[in-house]
Amino acid sequence: MKQLIITSDDFGLSSGVNRAVEQAWKNGLLTCASIMPGAPAFDEAVKMARRNPGLQIGLHLTLVQGRSVLPPAELPDLVDAQGNFSDNPVAAGFRYFFDRGLYCQLKREIEAQIKKVLDAGITLTHIDGHLNIHLHPTVFRILTELMPRHGITSFRLAQERLSHNLSFDRDRKFGKTLESLIFGFLTDHARPVLDTLGIRYADEVKGVLNSGRMTEEYILNIIGGLKEGLTEIYFHPGILPDAEISRLMPGYRHQEELAAITSPAVRQRLHELHIQVQNYRGEIKC
pLDDT tens digits, one per residue of 44-87:
999 999 999 999 999 999 999 999 999 999 999 999 999 999 99
* pLDDT tens for each residue of 18-40: 999 999 999 999 999 999 999 99
Query: In angstroms, rounded to a whole number, what is the distance separating the alpha carbons of residues 165 and 176?
Result: 9
Q: Give the H or E element holding residue 18.
A: helix 15-27
- The single-letter DSSP state of residue 84 is B
* pLDDT tens for each residue of 81-139: 999 999 999 999 999 999 999 999 999 999 999 999 999 999 999 999 999 999 999 99
* Listed residue (211, 214, 137) closest to 175, CA to CA: 211
Query: In angstroms, rounded to a whole number, what is the distance separating the alpha carbons of residues 235 and 109?
Result: 25
Q: Give the H or E element holding residue 166.
A: helix 162-166
Identify the structural domains of the chain with CATH numbers, from first to last: 2-277 (3.20.20.370)
